[in-house]
Amino acid sequence: MKKTRRWIVLALVLALALSVTGGAGTGAADDTREEVTVKYWYPMHPNHIEEDFDHDPLHEMLAEKTGVHIEYELVPQDNSQERYNLMMASGNLPDIVCMNVKNLKKYPDAWAPLDDYIVGNERYANLDKTIYGDEYLTSYLPSDDGKNRVVPMLATRLIGDILIVRKDLMEAWGLGYDDLVTAEQWHDVLTQAKKEGYIPYMTRYKRAGILYRLLGGYSDCMQEEYYVDLDGKTVKYGVLEPRFKEVVELARQWYAEGLIDPEYPTTDATIWQEKVLAGEVFATHDNMTRCNWADKDFMTVQNVDCRVMAVGPMQSPETGLRNTTIHYPRVRDRSCAIAASSKYIERILDYFDYCFSEEGFYAMNWGILGYSYEMVNGMPVAIDEYAEKSSTREIKPVGTRDEPKDGCDELIYNFNQYDYQESTRVGTKLYEDNDFIRRNWIEAISFTDAENEEMTAREAELDTYRGEMLDKFIMGIEPMENWDAFVDEIRAMGVEKNIAIYQQGLDRALGN
């Protein structure tokens, strides 16, 4: 899925970014509307302090643009769930509540249904286009009654956990991107890495790092448990599918040949990081920006000869596709709902509509031009002095930015132009230009309390048994002749009833 670049267009409106008078289509409030103050319940990130929210330059600018002044009710993030539950039980709600979508959807009657306000209403054209013009959002956000009550915080950067290999070794061996496509090619290159004394493939995500991260493309994005098939409409359970046995057999073969970290069941993040940064690992997987992290460390701390590069998903021998469903969630945790009891629903929507406008995109992601960022060659770049001084509170941080908007990861995605970030830029282009990323529709499924209760009764036993047996199969402890008996036992535990519940949830999300 390619990200639409808006920098050329947005650069033309930069001169308007701090203008009090809103132009047509910017989402700015009518100047004749009186200013209002709304209460905003907000879980405060541990890295922030209450003083960050007092006279915050960004939110003062937003109040100027929209006529909506925010009065925060800050709660510690580490006990926000408990505080949220108590607040909802009391029925005494502020105007806006910030929480993840799952929690917000538990109390549909508490929130204002937004469809009637937004859809087809020019006043909220930015919200209408962003939310209701996105098939995934119109499936994911609505409550069980089909109505949406959530203003989401959206990620632009979908590229998440990707395969990473040692670039310096690939170059030394005369290899490039096209030499790591098929399973056969991967096998040959991992074998070469082993011969030269490297750990061929290492993960800190246990079994999932093998079956889903390394071999996910090979299997057309199958997972060991619930996943949505390529048709985007059918829920399946990996271990019940005949082809998944083939994936496990391949993992078993590579493990036996020493191509996979022999300690993968116990390798944790600390061990993994030490091995990677010591230059002992050829291939791994992680967040796309891990390329920056590794290269920066190699360049500034120790092994300056090491470099890393992102490579695409393995090719499926069945379909010929190279896909991954491993990406950042499109909808992030800091989404909002407006209390049905609020007197200012329309004015709050004015505020959020501005946040989703072109001007608002810059403000919400980069702050204030000349204060927190500047334009360099047509691109926004964080000002180093601001980044340094705001981190120590010498100057005021421009808001937390963790609230409804589009492009919530823009500061990460459009990183400053350092040499060690080149591998991330190249890797991002590789995934975007080849459309490797496929939507993971399993994320759109939500369940009723009754469905959750029924599944929970079976899920713990299923997870434990499935996990133990799959590790035994991969490590060669359990003979593959016992696979069918393993599948029969999974069925006997009632997994097909859970699959049916997942299917009902997907059908609801898709409007079927």
Q: Residue range 136-148: average pLDDT?
A: 87
Structure tokens, 305: 């000869």
The neighbour count for residue 146, using CB atoms within 10 Å, is 11
Q: Report the pLDDT value the prediction gives residue 411, as an integer from 0 to 100.
A: 54
Residue 209 DSSP class: I
Out of 46-50, 66-70, 191-195, least confident range:
46-50
Range with the largest mean pLDDT of 152-161, 482-491, 502-511: 482-491
Q: What is the pLDDT of residue 200?
A: 98
Whether the predicted pLDDT of 16 surpasses 90: no
Each residue of 284-335: pLDDT tens digit? 998 766 666 666 666 565 555 788 888 989 999 999 999 887 665 667 778 9
Instruction: Give yes or no for a contact between 154 and 408, defined as CB atoms under 8 angstroms apart.
Output: yes
Q: Token pair for residue 197?
A: 């004394």
Q: How far is CA 157 from the centre of its chain?
A: 8
Average pLDDT taken over every residue of the chain? 84
- Is the predicted pLDDT of residue 53 greater than 90, yes or no? no
Residue given tokens 């917000």 in the structure block: 104
Least confident of 23-37, 211-225, 263-277: 23-37
Q: How confident is residue 278, by pLDDT bands cut at 50, 70 and 90?
A: confident
The confidence score (pLDDT) of residue 377 equals 81
- With 70 as the cut, is the pLDDT of residue 67 above it? yes
- Please, what is the Cα angle at 407 between 405 and 409, to 5 degrees? 115
How far is residue 248 CA from its own chain's centroid?
Answer: 27
Q: pTM score, two decimals?
A: 0.70
**pLDDT above 70 as % of the chain:** 84
**If you average pLDDT over residues 476-482, what whole number do you get?**
98
Instruction: Considering only residues 78 and 168, tell me which one the structure prediction assigns the higher pLDDT.
Output: 168
Q: In the predicted model, what is the mean pLDDT of residues 126-155?
A: 89
| Weakest mean pLDDT among 20-29, 45-54, 122-131 | 20-29
Q: For each of the domains in the chain, give its residue range(s) and CATH number, in order of start.
A: 7-156+332-413 (3.40.190.10), 161-219+239-326+420-441 (3.40.190.10), 443-510 (no CATH)
Could you give the percent of the chain with pLDDT greater than 90?
A: 52
Note the pLDDT of residue 400: 54
- Residue 195: its pLDDT value, please? 98
pLDDT at 189 over 60: yes
Residue 259, pLDDT above cutoff 90: yes
Give per-residue pLDDT as tens, 426-458.
777 777 777 777 777 777 787 888 898 899 889
Q: For residue 467, what pLDDT is reported?
A: 96
**Strand, coil or helix: 382:** strand
pLDDT score for 323: 83
State residue 45's pLDDT score.
Answer: 79
What does the H/E/C string look like for 217-278? CCCCCCCCCEEECCCCCCEEEHHHCHHHHHHHHHHHHHHHCCCCCCCCCCCCHHHHHHHHHC
Place of tokens 């490039």: 176
Q: Which of 129, 141, 117 is nearest to 349 (CA)?
A: 117
pLDDT number for residue 241: 95
Q: How confident is the model at residue 156 (pLDDT cuts 50, 70, 90)?
A: low
pLDDT category at 159 given cuts 50, 70, 90 is low
Give me the mean pLDDT over the 353-362 stretch. 92
Mean pLDDT of 244-259: 98
Average pLDDT over residues 234-241: 96
Q: How far is it, in rounded angstroms, from Cα 322 to Cα 315? A: 5
Q: Of 275, 273, 278, 215, give the one whose Cα is nearest residue 247.
A: 215
Higher pLDDT, 87 or 10: 87
Confidence at residue 125, expressed as pLDDT on a 0 to 100 scale: 97
